[in-house]
């Protein structure tokens, strides 16, 4: 029994290491994904502002074209007015010039608004690009480190798996299944020593009769309180654990 429990305790150390390394590996992978996601969302934001500016630019050119057309038409009508002798025709031509003036004024107002929007969007684009740049360099710097860590953890996990296979072959199959069930249900601690009459898993006092049975090491004893597998560890042996 003793050697079986000792093998299980060794298996537990490997399993705890496996669990810890696997969690760290997942945390590293999540961090890589989160950094990538942050860069991606900033890239999307920059692209959206660039698109907005493209649209504003074409609206600006359109308005500038309309304004120059209205202005040249106005110039043309004014030239014509100097040659008109008929009062009725003159009145109509002047009215047309007035309308063109109004039209040009409206276009100018709209153009000013568009130019202001271009200005605001340009500043926003600059800020967004700066932020993206900073984020990308931070990502690149951290990424290299994370990939290094992930590589190391992967290798450690491989080693643990190999060691686990070796240990598993030395443990009775039923005992191992019970151990695995307790390990998963009891937060990664299935095999615990009894020290000073106390279960080191839940720190409850173990009844003296049970304590004697554990010391005999003849059968598997579960803690009556936390249901973990108990083994006897004499005082002063903690250091070797
Ligand atoms: Zn206990």
- Please give the distance, rounded to the nearest whole angstrom, from the Cα atom of residue 222 to the centre of ligand 1: 8
Beta-carbon neighbour count of residue 206 at 10 Å?
Answer: 22
- Has residue 39 got a pLDDT over 70? yes
229 CA distance to ligand 1 middle (Å): 8
pLDDT of residue 241: 42
Q: Cβ(18)–Cβ(160) under 8 Å? A: yes
Q: What is the pLDDT of residues 182-236, one digit of tens each?
A: 999 999 999 999 998 899 999 999 998 898 888 887 889 999 999 999 998 776 6
CB 183 within 8 A of CB 15: yes
CA of 169 to the centre of ligand 1 (A): 27
pLDDT (0 to 100) of residue 41: 97
pLDDT value for 98: 95
Summarised one tens digit per residue, pLDDT across range 65-76 is 999 999 999 999
Taking the centre of ligand 1 as the mean of its atom positions, its distance from the CA of residue 225, in whole angstroms, is 5
Tell me the CA–centroid distance for residue 208 and ligand 1, in Å: 14
| CB atoms closer than 10 angstroms to residue 129 | 15
């Amino acid at each position: 029994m003793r050697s079986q429990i000792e093998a299980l305790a060794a298996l537990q150390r490997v399993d705890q290491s496996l669990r810890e390394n696997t969690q760290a590996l997942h945390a590293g992978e999540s961090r890589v994904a989160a950094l990538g996601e942050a860069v991606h969302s900033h890239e999307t934001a920059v692209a959206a502002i660039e698109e907005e500016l493209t649209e504003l630019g074409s609206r600006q050119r359109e308005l500038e074209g309309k304004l120059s057309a209205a202005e040249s038409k106005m110039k043309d009508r004014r030239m014509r007015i100097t040659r008109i002798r008929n009062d009725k025709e003159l009145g109509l031509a002047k009215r047309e010039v007035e309308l063109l003036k109004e039209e040009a004024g409206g276009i100018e107002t709209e153009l000013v608004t568009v130019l202001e929007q271009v200005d605001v969007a340009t500043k926003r684009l600059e800020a967004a690009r700066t932020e993206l740049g900073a984020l990308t360099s931070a990502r690149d710097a951290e990424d290299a480190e994370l990939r290094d860590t992930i590589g190391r953890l992967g290798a450690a996990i491989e080693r643990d798996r190999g060691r686990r296979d070796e240990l598993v072959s030395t443990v009775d199959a039923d005992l191992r299944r019970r151990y695995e069930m307790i390990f998963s249900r009891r937060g990664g601690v299935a095999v615990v020593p009894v020290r000073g009459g106390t279960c080191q898993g839940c720190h409850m006092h173990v009844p003296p009769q049970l304590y004697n049975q554990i010391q005999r090491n003849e059968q598997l004893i579960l803690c009556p309180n936390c249901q973990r597998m108990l083994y006897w560890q004499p005082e002063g042996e903690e250091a070797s654990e």
